[in-house]
Amino acid sequence: EGVSLKLGIEADYFVGQEQELESLLEGKPWDYVIGSVHFVDGWGFDNPQTVSHFERQDLTELYTRFYETVEKMIRSKMFDFVAHLDNLKVFNFKVNSESFNQEWYERIATALLETNKATEVNAGLYYRYPVKEMCPSVDFLKTIIKKGVPITLSSDSHFPDDLGKYVAENKSLLQQLGAQNVATFEQRERIMVQIQ
């Protein structure tokens, strides 16, 4: 039977640049287009060379701006699924307020539900970055699953040997948290597959 290869692209989302991005993406034979946020106010926050920037930030304000951008990305409806919803935690700088975090988890999950968009469980931060945590966090994931948002699995491989890393573990995690299906994509159509 072999392996079925899909053609996908990850596109960084910038508020106000939707039309430019749309024109770059249209007319191509993608199976899926992934939306992601890696910049806040022009700062590439997952760059190890700029990690000191976190220390000069009010983390609550920073996370608010980040999550507002993520929500706009979801509501733009440009993407088949949106990636690593809380990757701002990459270097372990987090807001230690359960109510703040939960409020945003609910808000993002609601935006996904209302726009009928999928998200992912991504292993990249777990095996490549100091935070050593799946993306999104388990609490965030619980909120997403409770809302019935479709989820796919990503190993976030930047090298061939990383293909499929932690996909089995994350599939088990989804099952433990009550998810029964995972999303896959073909020619920009979402297909739900039962977790085996």
Handedness of CA 173, 183, 68, 93 (dihedral sign): positive
**What's the pLDDT band for 4 if we cut at 50, 70, 90?**
confident
Are the CB atoms for 181 and 195 separated by under 8 Å?
yes
Of 6, 78, 7, the C-alpha closest to 37 is 78
pLDDT at 87: 97
What DSSP character marks residue 135?
Answer: B
* Token pair for 160: 């061939």
pLDDT at 131: 95
pLDDT for 63 beyond 90: yes
pLDDT at 74: 98
Distance CA 162, CA 182 (A): 20
The neighbouring-strand residues paired with 8 are 32
Are the CB atoms for 124 and 89 separated by under 8 Å?
no
- Residues 180-195: tens digit of each pLDDT: 999 999 999 999 999 9
pLDDT at 36: 98
Of 62, 61, 69, 67, the C-alpha closest to 14 is 69
- Residues 67-94: tens digit of each pLDDT: 999 999 999 999 999 999 999 999 999 9
